Amino acid sequence: MLKRLYEWTLEKAAHRTAPRWLAGISFAESSFFPIPPDVLLAPMCLARPERSWWYALVCTIASVLGSLLGYAIGYFLFDTIGQPILDFYGVGEEFAAFSAQFNAQGWIIVLLAGFTPLPFKVITIAAGATGMPLQVLLFAAILSRGARFFIVAALLRFFGPPMKAWIDKHFALATTALGVLAVLGFVAVKYLI
C-alpha cells in the first residue's frame, strides 16, 4: 500500500498543479500523511532549478501549517484520532513513557524530527497531546523544516541529478547527521551563554 501511495505522490510532481500538490502533501505529512514532501520537492527542483527556493518555501510554510493540525489532533482529538495515528506508525504503546519526557526536551525532539526521516506527524501530535507550548513547536518546526527543505532544494539546484541519486541513497543518514549537528549547536550555545 505504501509503495502505491509513494508512486501516486511522485506522479504529482509532473502534474500542472504540482506546486499545489506540494503544498497539500507538505501540510498533510506534518499531521497524518505517510509520504514526505521530498518525494515531490526533488523532481520539481530538478525540472525547474530556478524555482527551487520557491518550492522549498512552499514546503516549509505548508509543513509548519500542517504541524498546527497535528498539534490540534493531539490536543483536542488524541483518543479518537491521535492514538490511532500513533498506533499506525507503531509508537502507540511507547507513547506514555515518551510523553513523560517530551515537554522537557520537546523543542530538541521537534528540531530533530523536522530534519530526520522520523514521522513528523508523530511529533506534532505528541506536542498537542502533552500540551507543549505552541510557540515552541512553531519555532522548532520553522527552523528544522525550513532548513531541511532549503538544504534539499539548494543541493538539487546546484548539483542536479547526481545529488538526487546521492540523497535518495543516503537521505536518512544525511538528514540525521544535519539534525544532530544542529541540536549540538543549540546545546553548546545554551551552555556557553
DSSP 28-71: HHTTT-SS-THHHHHHHHHH-GGGHHHHHHHHHHHHHHHHHHHH
Q: Are 12 and 21 in contact (CB under 8 A)?
A: yes
- pLDDT at position 26: 95
Count how many domains the chain has.
1
Question: Considering only 3-12, 122-131, 153-162, which range has the smallest mean pLDDT?
Answer: 3-12
* Best mean pLDDT range from 11-15, 105-109, 122-126, 168-172: 122-126
Q: Return the residue matching grid coordinates 490511532.
A: 84
Does 162 or 101 have the greater pLDDT score?
A: 162
- pLDDT at position 21: 92
Q: Are 171 and 38 in contact (CB under 8 A)?
A: yes
* Best mean pLDDT range from 8-17, 77-86, 101-110: 77-86
- pLDDT at position 176: 64
Question: pTM, whole model, 2 decimals?
Answer: 0.80
Hey, what amino acid is at 123?
A: I
Quick: pLDDT tens for 163-188: 767 766 776 676 666 556 555 654 55
Q: By residue range, what is the domain housing residue 41?
A: 2-192
In the predicted model, what is the mean pLDDT of residues 26-38?
Answer: 89
